[in-house]
Amino acid sequence: MRSLYDTDFYAWTQKQAELLQMQQWSSLDLPNLIEEIESLGKQQRRELRNRLSVLIGHLLKWQYQPEQRSRSWLATIRVQRREVLQLLQENPSLKPYLQEALQQAFETGKDLAVSETNLPYKTFPSECDYSLEQILSDRFYPGESSFLAEEEF
């Protein structure tokens, strides 16, 4: 017989919350509850990595295709920076994971830049040239200066 967890996840979450509030420990679906709590932590790490990937991809596009710069790219850079900083503020224990996430995010960001610019992989560095401080700084826009970035300040 399939459990509520398998047939109606939302109903299962509400039931587990109710059981926790009523302190009915023996009635909890502990194996699935443990799995879901662990999954929540992984989800935060994945979100950090994904946002860094989009941010780095746009920084690479900004640097290596200056003639294509747009307000849209600028907005994406600004929004992703803000979201990464907010995620770190809400989850300070993710900070030690940043360096590892940066390496993974750079590879994905480079894939994004290659696919969106049609520039070959060899155009881009093999390792991330940007520091975490630069990536997250609202004043860092790599490559030659641009009136788009300058008018933001």
Tell me the per-residue pLDDT of 25-64, one tens digit each, with 9 for 90 and over: 999 999 999 999 999 989 999 999 999 999 999 999 999 9
- The full DSSP string for 10-44 is HHHHHHHHHHHHTT-GGGS-HHHHHHHHHHHHHHH
For the chain, give the mean pLDDT. Answer: 94
How does residue 151 score in pLDDT terms, banded at 50, 70 and 90? low
pLDDT reading at 145 higher than 90: no
pLDDT reading at 149 higher than 80: no
pLDDT tens per residue across span 57-98: 999 999 999 999 999 999 999 999 999 999 999 999 999 999
Angle at 106 between CA 96 and CA 52, to 5 degrees: 60
In the chain, where the domains are located:
43-150
pLDDT tens per residue across span 118-135: 999 999 999 999 999 999
